[in-house]
Structure 1
Amino acid sequence: MPEIALTTVALLCLAALVAGWIDAVVGGGGLLLLPALLLGLPAGTPASHALGTNKAVAIVGTAGAAVTYARKAPVDVGTAVRIGLAALAGSSGGAFLAAGMSTDVLKPVIMVVLLAVAAFVILRPSFGTAPAPGPATRRRRIAAIGLAGVGIGFYDGLVGPGTGTFLVLALTGLLHLDLVTASATAKIVNCCTNAGALAMFAWQGAVLWQLAAPMAVFNLAGGMLGAHTALKRGSGFVRIILLVVVTALVANLAYEQWLA
């Protein structure tokens, strides 16, 4: 592990705490955690080490949030796991193609989609505030496995940022979940995709375990706190955080596309 100042480690742990909270509420914690690692690690550290360490930290917070949600939110664990396994396969395919494809082509498209999503959420105040009166149909569950699983999993492997947010939106729209239950379900799906990615990075020796361990503790605390906050404050609060995260994601992608 490269030499890292104690002050830097403390700041990275703080970033992990906040990222865990954001990710548990509505997804998108990686928008804070990954840039923090890229800035905090010494110059010359391979980017793959930041990516691998990010996954090692995030999976702990995601798992903690998933357990917290599962205890109090009406999560269909079976459906969530099926979507998660499909997302794992999609993520593997996206990662395989990422090496030979420029993601710069996709970023403007993703920004347009996100802006459309933000407009939809603003214009539809009832979106995700209450679940559908009955269970989702078999057709909708299959569509969720295809889109939220394979499709968003593929995006996670190919591009990455905002995967949790996309999952929340897709699960809310396809399965007619309220935003709190969608966030809970997304955490289980994220556990599956993070596990696959972490296994690959660990096999490649691209995880800084000594740094990941303390950051993971803070990320776990943030994740569990975020899940408790979402459960306590309800879907209206999650909707506000969703709009904030979508705006941040658009700004981040625009910066990477045109200014970085």
Structure 2
Amino acid sequence: MDEMIYGLLVIGFLAGLMDAAIGGGGLLQIPGLFNLLPSSTPVATVLGVGKVASFSGTAMATQQYVRRTVMPWGMLLPAAVLAFAASYFGAKSVAYFPVQYLKPLMLVIMVAMCCYTFLKKDLGQLVRTEPLSRSEKRWGLFFGALIGFYDGIFGPGTGSLLAFVFVRFYGYDFLAANASAKVINSTTNLAALAFFIPHGHVVWAWALPLAAANLFGSFIGAKVAIRCGTRFLRVGFMVLLCLMIGKFTWDLFHV
């Protein structure tokens, strides 16, 4: 049992560090939990334990970013509310939605995002100063609801999708995009917990140490991202996309 707790602390810290700095902490955390927790643990419980940690880490990263970045609250808050509702609805719709079709679709989207970011060298490097238009705010609501639903029903790559939307369609630099994505991602994680906790899918003896480590890792990861700036985040974003492309390809074609 002690070895498992130590393992949860290591996985939680590394996942929080990665997620706050460039995103994609779930790539480390979820496989790590499946390896560390007893094999008899239900999948929903593994995901519930992971969501407690993800929420604590994302909330910490959000707090760090908000203190140092100008946030478009007029668009973010309504989008976060819609994302919360859509994520909760997505979690409840898993049994009725053909989730198996999402992996190949996400693989195509990730490849396109990676190629576009690589070819457009100035993407996410310029700091936007003008306010959002009404049309952009409406699109923010749409993207918040759409990606929130995806996070509830499937999940991997949510932060990357949000960051890309803010960079590509709003002209934000990667730092502002990462900060904005964290706000919405916090609400989608909270929506998932609103489903997992009442249904008894959280073992707190595992979730609390994992969450504490994830929170500490997120604190350091956000500090690194803020200090290193947009160039670091652009490279990190592309590395993350390559990792996710590799994982999705492995999952789809590995027999």
Tell me which interval the TM-score lies in, with the shorter structure as reference length: over 0.9
The 3 A distance-change label for structure 1 pair 195 and 233 is same
Identity of aligned residues (%): 33
Give, as a single letter, the amino acid of the residue that structure 1 aligns with 2:160.
Answer: T
SS at the partner of 2:126?
coil
Q: Please tell me whether the aligned partners of residues 80 and 186 of structure 1 are also in contact (alpha carbons under 8 angstroms).
A: no
The 3 A distance-change label for structure 1 pair 52 and 224 is same
RMSD over aligned Cα atoms: 1.3
What is the deviation of 1:50?
Answer: 0.5
Give the alignment's TM-score, normalised by structure 1: 0.94
Residues 1:257 and 2:252 are matched in the alignment:
yes
Of 161, 165, 184, 2:179 maps to 184
Residue in structure 1 matched with residue 229 of structure 2 by the alignment = 234
Residue in structure 2 matched with residue 13 of structure 1 by the alignment = 9
Residues 1:108 and 2:104 are matched in the alignment:
yes
Q: Aligned equivalents of 2:90 and 2:248: distance in 1?
A: 18
What is the deviation of 1:36?
Answer: 0.8
Render the CA deviation track for 1:148-189: whole Å, top value 9, x for unaligned: x01111111221101111111111222221110111111111
Q: Please tell me whether the aligned partners of residues 91 and 192 of structure 2 are also in contact (alpha carbons under 8 angstroms).
A: no
Residue in structure 1 matched with residue 131 of structure 2 by the alignment = 135
Q: Please tell me whether the aligned partners of residues 87 and 152 of structure 1 are also in contact (alpha carbons under 8 angstroms).
A: yes
Render the CA deviation track for 1:208-227: whole Å, top value 9, x for unaligned: 11111111111111111111
Q: Please tell me whether the aligned partners of residues 56 and 212 of structure 1 are also in contact (alpha carbons under 8 angstroms).
A: yes
Q: Please tell me whether the aligned partners of residues 136 and 176 of structure 1 are also in contact (alpha carbons under 8 angstroms).
A: no
What is the deviation of 1:115?
Answer: 0.4
Extract structure 1 runs of 4+ deviating beyond 4 A: none
Residues 1:71 and 2:90 are matched in the alignment:
no
Residues 1:53 and 2:58 are matched in the alignment:
no
Residue in structure 2 matched with residue 221 of structure 1 by the alignment = 216
The 3 A distance-change label for structure 1 pair 224 and 78 is farther
Count of residue pairs the alignment pairs up: 255
Unmatched segments (≥5 aa) in structure 1: none
Q: Aligned equivalents of 1:111 and 1:201: distance in 2?
A: 27
Deviates more, 1:133-142 or 1:49-58: 133-142
SS at the partner of 1:99?
helix
What is the deviation of 1:25?
Answer: 2.0
Q: Please tell me whether the aligned partners of residues 131 and 177 of structure 1 are also in contact (alpha carbons under 8 angstroms).
A: yes
Of 11, 15, 35, 2:31 maps to 35
Give the alignment's TM-score, normalised by structure 2: 0.95
Unmatched segments (≥5 aa) in structure 2: none
